[in-house]
Structure 1
Amino acid sequence: MKIGILSDSHFKSDYTKEVIDLLKEKGCQYLIHAGDLCIEKNLELLVESKLPYVSVFGNNDMNLVAVSNKYVIKQEPYYFKIKDITFKLMHMPYHLSPDSNIVIFGHTHIFECEYKNNTLFINPGEVCAREKPHIECALLEINENEYIISHYFKDINKNNYEKEEYKYER
């Protein structure tokens, strides 16, 4: 199973589309957005991907409450399952307890992945290239005995994404 993870799109719908296209090209079957979509266009892009998706409100998403009934956007922390894997999704890293298999968060604009106490913690970094001149996302591959996290990042002035890969035994 492959899951595309993104966060902190802010007002960069062009970057959001680029990242979704990259994740789809890499074979993702689901999309998870960890908040700060900021504009409805970013939610529309999730829908237009034709993939199952979920997102949460970030601290800059209060204007999206008015359109939330049209999209899959939840209050944080949001718990859900894909197949037999439990997830906790949030924007703000306030609920980083190991109470699900995978904890996904955003807000810091910094890529992180760590496996501790039988829980995988992932922050995909920032789509918006606000804190640094990089567009970022992550692809989580869940296999029977391992997690493989691919961190994709690209300088905004270049054409190709670079990749770092992390593996953890489940």
Structure 2
Amino acid sequence: MKALIISDSHGLTEELLTIKERHKNEVDFMLHCGDSELPATSSEMSEFSAVRGNCDFDSRYPEDMVVLLNGANVFLTHGHLYNVKMTLMNLSYRAQEAGANVVCFGHSHIAGAELIGEILFINPGSIRLPRMRKEKTYVILEIVDKKAKVIFYSSDGIVIEELKTTATLQLKHNRE
């Protein structure tokens, strides 16, 4: 299964629609980590499971959520409530409480993916105002069995090879 992950689009509309159209037949989920600055009911945000960022004023967005992606619990948040510009510790504690295997967040606009302990942290960067890179970025996350593959794309759809990340997830099967 694959998920498109985007964050910090800060009012962009055409770019969101272009990226959605580019990958609509390739992904099973579309996740937005906040700061879209668009109403939850807008056509640009349709198809996205989205959370509220510090620049979002539509109260219909939740602060965070957990989605199930091919056996992995994916915790989605913007990051401002967890002080992610300073440390990932608070977010890590919250992810552990939520039973997350993967955490998707934004806020810092810094693209990156890293396995910390047993949790894969993904920040797709920003398609509006990237920091620490010139490329405006988003991510496709693929989870097959327990293998996670994170591929970063520039906003024009070109793979950014040096940011590719793979990780083995420690998935726990639910007892029914």
TM-score range (shorter-chain normalised) is: 0.7 to 0.9
Query: How far is the alpha carbon of 1:144 from its aligned partner?
Result: 0.6
Shift in CA distance, 17/135, structure 1 to aligned 2, threshold 3 Å: farther
Query: How far is the alpha carbon of 1:3 from its aligned partner?
Result: 0.5
User: 1:142·1:148 contact (CA, 8 Å) conserved in 2?
Assistant: yes
Runs of 5+ in structure 1 lacking a partner? none
Give me the CA root mean square deviation.
2.3
Aligned to 2:29: 30
What is the 5 A alignment of 1:115-134?
A: 115-129=115-129, 131=131, 134=135
Query: How far is the alpha carbon of 1:23 from its aligned partner?
Result: 2.8
User: 2:51·2:77 contact (CA, 8 Å) conserved in 1?
Assistant: yes
Shift in CA distance, 119/140, structure 1 to aligned 2, threshold 3 Å: same
Query: How far is the alpha carbon of 1:133 from its aligned partner?
Result: 5.1
Residue identity in the other structure for 1:87: V
Please point out which of 62, 75, 92 is paired with 2:63: 75
Shift in CA distance, 84/92, structure 1 to aligned 2, threshold 3 Å: same
Q: Percent identity?
A: 25
Query: How far is the alpha carbon of 1:79 from its aligned partner?
Result: 2.7
Shift in CA distance, 150/6, structure 1 to aligned 2, threshold 3 Å: same
Q: TM-score when scaled to structure 2?
A: 0.76
Residue identity in the other structure for 1:163: I
User: 1:7·1:33 contact (CA, 8 Å) conserved in 2?
Assistant: yes
Task: Determine if the alignment matches structure 1 residue 86 to structure 2 residue 81.
Answer: no
Task: Determine if the alignment matches structure 1 residue 147 to structure 2 residue 134.
Answer: no
Residue identity in the other structure for 1:14: E
Question: How many pairs align?
Answer: 153
Runs of 5+ in structure 2 lacking a partner? 83-89, 170-176
Aligned to 1:58: 53
Aligned to 1:16: 16
User: 1:13·1:41 contact (CA, 8 Å) conserved in 2?
Assistant: no
In 2: Cα distance, 1:2 partner to 1:121 partner = 16
Aligned to 1:102: 102
Greater percentage in strand: 1
In 2: Cα distance, 1:153 partner to 1:163 partner = 7
User: 1:37·1:61 contact (CA, 8 Å) conserved in 2?
Assistant: yes
Aligned to 2:173: none
- Higher mean C-alpha deviation, range 126-135 or range 8-17: 126-135
In 2: Cα distance, 1:41 partner to 1:13 partner = 13
Residue identity in the other structure for 1:96: L
User: 1:15·1:135 contact (CA, 8 Å) conserved in 2?
Assistant: no
